Chain A
Amino acid sequence: MAEVRLKDLTKKFKDVAAVDNVSLNVRDGEFLTLVGPSGCGKSTTLRAVAGLENPTSGNIFIDGERVNDLPPQKRHISMVFQSYALFPHMTVESNLAFGLKIKKKGPEEKAKRVKWAVELLGLSGFEKRLPKELSGGQRQRVALGRALVLEPKVLLLDEPLSNLDAKLRLRMRTELKRLHKKIKTTIIYVTHDQAEAMTLSDRMAVMKDGRILQVGTPGQIYEKPADVFCAGFIGSPPMNFLPGEKVPQVKDKNVVVGIRPEDLSISLSRIDAGIWGRSSVTETLGSDSYLHVDTSEGLVSVRLKSDQGILEDKPLWLVSHKEKLHLFDKSTGRRIT
């Protein structure tokens, strides 16, 4: 277990800064997620912590020790790649034991730790199989186990679930969370999937264009997104954005108003504080349904209450409590508190 500190970390490829002056503290035992669209620098940040990329400038500390000049194997980290990178010519057992063998652990300890990983990850009976004889979920667990047997201070996970099908992904998400609860290792997790980040993280860092825009618990970021990007990126379906002058409660053209679909309610009769629109289509996601409403500012999505029937192609008014509105500065995109 350890804390990881990034101080003004910058990584440039040629002239492009993939990671741009990033500072971040990952607490001991924390599950921290770097989340953002592809190309936002989250993987590069992770690879820099792993020691696979040399920072152009800035420092990385693990447990207070500056590790910039240490090779990966001396950083007490372990990493799971998006591709799992299982060694295809080795059995599950040999894959799991690879790092232990390199570290010259005795046969007894090796066997003990491999057994621990096999049991922890439910891989009993598969020890002698080759990676190609495993399902996607099993491969993913082998990759995880191979990292865990080394008892790393920090576990780095680079989109470990993105190669799994949707159902398995949800299951592995839960398993990963339970696992973290059990082993309490510091985990830095990279994903582009905001739902994954929301469900897994103790805290998350939203990244864009090589910068960290906001760090906080999933709840904090959802409730108080720091800017328009975070607001739109976190939450599904995404937040609606309307120009300030079109929202009767605001009437300010220097402001962008963000409203989450669940914070809107529908009225079939005219309301002065409401926004007029015409209902278009309904989307049902099982427990929730969303109505898309055609307004003069484009489509706005609204979460329907369970007792609301089908409302397609009707004129209606949308309202929200004033305190539920998120106001952002139109020119900078930053939140106005």
Chain B
Amino acid sequence: MRTLKFVLIGVVLFFIVFPLFMMTKYSISDRESIVTGGEYPEPFFPFQPTMEMFGLLWSRGDFLKAGLTSLWVGLLAVAFSLLLGAPTAYALARFRIPGIAILLFFLLSVRLFPDISAVIPVAELLLSRPFSLLPPVILVGLAHTLLALPYTVYIAKGVFESIPRDLEEQAFVLGAPKSSTFLKILTPLALPGLGAAAIYTFFLSWNEFIFAYFLTFQGTETTLPVYLLRILSWSPQKNFISAISVLICVPVIIFTFLVQRHMREGLTAGAVK
């Protein structure tokens, strides 16, 4: 049993780590390590590891521009989905609302279709006036908000439900109006949970391809995944394309490491009992 367990874990790890390894390896490969002409096998590790491709990317304005676009789109999606999602979730968590099941169903509906069919009406809407007057960054941000909102609402609903109602009533009894109860009691307590929703939204946006593609393929301003496709269309070398992939992954990995500890800490400890 023990051996089997380790073998299984090993297999799973291999499937996760191996592609990452290959991607990283190619991104730092020198020319001889990838262009072998069949004369010798590709080395397990590059002969002469080099950061050349990263340097090249750094010097290319369009890559940085796509990175910045992705960043802005992500932040916009986070802002929109929290501004809309948190109050919605609060209302869903605290008040009895008739027809709530139907509301929640509609909220989820956009995710019930495959993205490739859902994108058509959404793009159709966003690419016609008055929306089309907005900059592409905002359009993609809105589309990503649409995709993230159901999750934001569901996560935030759970967050608000986990905050004891007593705390709000207590603030109320101590004289706090609704607004300061929300700002001084609820918001600080909900923050870690809402942070989780924000991170989820940001990653969704950072990775999202289909909606971003439909909304930006005509223009020059694109997000990183769409940019990657454009590069792919002129069949570049493995090392160049891998370097782009690495740069798309790195922020996600670093960010996850930084925040996961904070997200796990339950801030409500000690509130009741």
By a CB distance below 8 angstroms, the chain B residues around A72 are 172-173, 175
By a CB distance below 8 angstroms, the chain A residues around B167 are 85, 87
- Mark A residues whose CB is within 8 Å of B: 50-52, 71-73, 77-79, 81, 83-89, 98-99, 102-103, 130-134, 136, 139, 146-147, 150, 163
Q: How many A-B residue pairs have CB under 8 A?
A: 78
By a CB distance below 8 angstroms, the chain A residues around B188 are 89
Q: Is B166 an interface residue (CB 8 A)?
A: yes
Asked whether A134 lies within 8 Å of B270 as measured between CB atoms, the reply is yes
CA A132 to CA B273, docked complex, whole Å? 10
Q: Is B170 an interface residue (CB 8 A)?
A: yes
Interface string of B78-101 (1 = CB under 8 A from A): 000000000000000000000000
CA A282 to CA B180, docked complex, whole Å? 59
CA A55 to CA B180, docked complex, whole Å? 26
B165 to chain A, nearest CB (A): 9
Asked whether B173 lies within 8 Å of A78 as measured between CB atoms, the reply is yes
Asked whether A86 lies within 8 Å of B176 as measured between CB atoms, the reply is no
Given contacts A78-B174, A132-B270, 20 further A-B contacts (CB under 8 A): A52-B172, A72-B172, A72-B173, A73-B173, A77-B173, A81-B170, A85-B164, A85-B170, A86-B270, A87-B167, A87-B170, A87-B185, A87-B271, A89-B267, A98-B174, A99-B174, A102-B175, A132-B269, A136-B273, A163-B273
Interface string of B149-183 (1 = CB under 8 A from A): 00000000000000010110111111111001000
By a CB distance below 8 angstroms, the chain B residues around A73 are 172-177
Asked whether B166 lies within 8 Å of A81 as measured between CB atoms, the reply is yes
By a CB distance below 8 angstroms, the chain A residues around B177 are 73
By a CB distance below 8 angstroms, the chain A residues around B174 are 73, 78, 98-99, 102, 146-147, 150
CA A132 to CA B173, docked complex, whole Å? 22
Q: Is B272 an interface residue (CB 8 A)?
A: yes
The answer, among B166, B176, B180, B269, for a CB contact under 8 Å with A85, is: B166
B26 to chain A, nearest CB (A): 47
Asked whether B169 lies within 8 Å of A88 as measured between CB atoms, the reply is no
Q: Is B256 an interface residue (CB 8 A)?
A: no
By a CB distance below 8 angstroms, the chain A residues around B220 are none
CA A86 to CA B167, docked complex, whole Å? 7
By a CB distance below 8 angstroms, the chain A residues around B170 are 79, 81, 85, 87
Asked whether B189 lies within 8 Å of A89 as measured between CB atoms, the reply is yes
> What is the chain B residue whose CB lies nearest that of A158?
B166
Asked whether A50 lies within 8 Å of B269 as measured between CB atoms, the reply is no
By a CB distance below 8 angstroms, the chain A residues around B269 are 88, 132
> What is the chain B residue whose CB lies nearest that of A74?
B175
Asked whether B169 lies within 8 Å of A83 as measured between CB atoms, the reply is no
Q: Is B48 an interface residue (CB 8 A)?
A: no
Interface string of B41-65 (1 = CB under 8 A from A): 0000000000000000000000000
Of residues 256 through 273 on chain B, the ones whose CB sits less than 8 Å from some CB of chain A are 267-273
> What is the chain B residue whose CB lies nearest that of A72?
B173
| Residues A102 and B176 in contact in the complex (CB < 8 Å), given A81-B170, A85-B167, A89-B188 | yes
| 5 closest cross-chain pairs (CB), A and B | A132-B270, A83-B272, A99-B174, A85-B170, A73-B175
By a CB distance below 8 angstroms, the chain A residues around B169 are 52, 81, 85
> What is the chain B residue whose CB lies nearest that of A73?
B175
CA A325 to CA B164, docked complex, whole Å? 48
By a CB distance below 8 angstroms, the chain B residues around A52 are 169, 172-173
B162 to chain A, nearest CB (A): 12
> What is the chain A residue whose CB lies nearest that of B189?
A89
B132 to chain A, nearest CB (A): 44
CA A78 to CA B176, docked complex, whole Å? 12
Q: Could you list some 13 contacts between A and B, CB below 8 A?
A: A52-B172, A73-B172, A73-B174, A84-B273, A85-B166, A85-B170, A85-B272, A89-B189, A98-B171, A99-B174, A99-B176, A102-B174, A102-B176
By a CB distance below 8 angstroms, the chain A residues around B176 are 73, 98-99, 102
Of residues 108 through 157 on chain B, the ones whose CB sits less than 8 Å from some CB of chain A are none
Asked whether B164 lies within 8 Å of A102 as measured between CB atoms, the reply is no
CA A193 to CA B167, docked complex, whole Å? 25
B27 to chain A, nearest CB (A): 43
| Residues A139 and B166 in contact in the complex (CB < 8 Å), given A73-B176, A87-B185, A102-B176 | no
> What is the chain B residue whose CB lies nearest that of A77?
B173
Of residues 228 through 273 on chain B, the ones whose CB sits less than 8 Å from some CB of chain A are 267-273
B155 to chain A, nearest CB (A): 20
Asked whether B270 lies within 8 Å of A130 as measured between CB atoms, the reply is yes
By a CB distance below 8 angstroms, the chain A residues around B267 are 88-89
A204 to chain B, nearest CB (A): 23
By a CB distance below 8 angstroms, the chain B residues around A79 are 170, 173
B262 to chain A, nearest CB (A): 14
CA A146 to CA B185, docked complex, whole Å? 15
By a CB distance below 8 angstroms, the chain B residues around A150 are 174-175
| Residues A131 and B166 in contact in the complex (CB < 8 Å), given A102-B174, A103-B175, A146-B174 | no
Asked whether B270 lies within 8 Å of A88 as measured between CB atoms, the reply is yes
Asked whether B272 lies within 8 Å of A102 as measured between CB atoms, the reply is no
Asked whether B268 lies within 8 Å of A99 as measured between CB atoms, the reply is no
A283 to chain B, nearest CB (A): 31
CA A73 to CA B174, docked complex, whole Å? 6
By a CB distance below 8 angstroms, the chain B residues around A136 are 273
CA A87 to CA B271, docked complex, whole Å? 6
